[in-house]
């Protein structure tokens, strides 16, 4: 029988997930227990929504906490994150 349980959209693990909304974003994602407990969220959405808000320093404290938790859990440096947010400015949709 086909596994109808989606992979975690945060870390990609193929284990039991639950679908939840992302705080402050009109989108739902599948989370494994580890990512859910860590307050980690899909990286691409964290990057794009931080960019849309004008950058990390212009975000609300609760969003900065969400970003920090995601980066720590996924072992991504704040420097890489900042470069990825800045690169959104160059993105032209192609």
pLDDT tens digits, 43-90: 999 999 999 999 999 999 999 999 999 999 999 999 999 999 999 887
DSSP 39: T
Q: At what angle do helices 61-74 and 43-52 cross, to 10 degrees?
A: 150
What pTM did the predictor assign?
0.89
How would residue 1 be classed by pLDDT, with cut points 50, 70 and 90? very low
Q: What are phi and psi of 25, to 5 degrees?
A: -130, 130
The structural domains of the chain, with segments of one domain joined by +, span: 17-90
Alpha helices in 1-94 (DSSP H): 33-38, 43-52, 61-74, 78-87
- The rounded distance, in Å, linking the Cα atoms of 78 and 60 is 17
Asked whether the CA dihedral 54, 80, 49, 86 is positive or negative, the reply is positive
Cα(78)–Cα(84) distance, integer angstroms: 10
């Amino acid at each position: 029988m086909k596994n109808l349980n989606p992979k975690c959209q945060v870390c990609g693990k193929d284990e039991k997930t639950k679908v939840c909304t992302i705080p402050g974003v009109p989108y739902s994602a599948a989370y494994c227990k580890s990512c859910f407990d860590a307050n980690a969220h899909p990286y691409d959405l964290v990057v794009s929504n931080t960019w849309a808000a004008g950058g990390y320093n212009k975000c609300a404290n609760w969003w900065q906490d969400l970003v920090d938790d995601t980066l720590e859990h996924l072992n991504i440096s704040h420097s890489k994150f900042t470069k990825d947010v800045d690169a959104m400015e160059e993105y032209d949709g192609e």
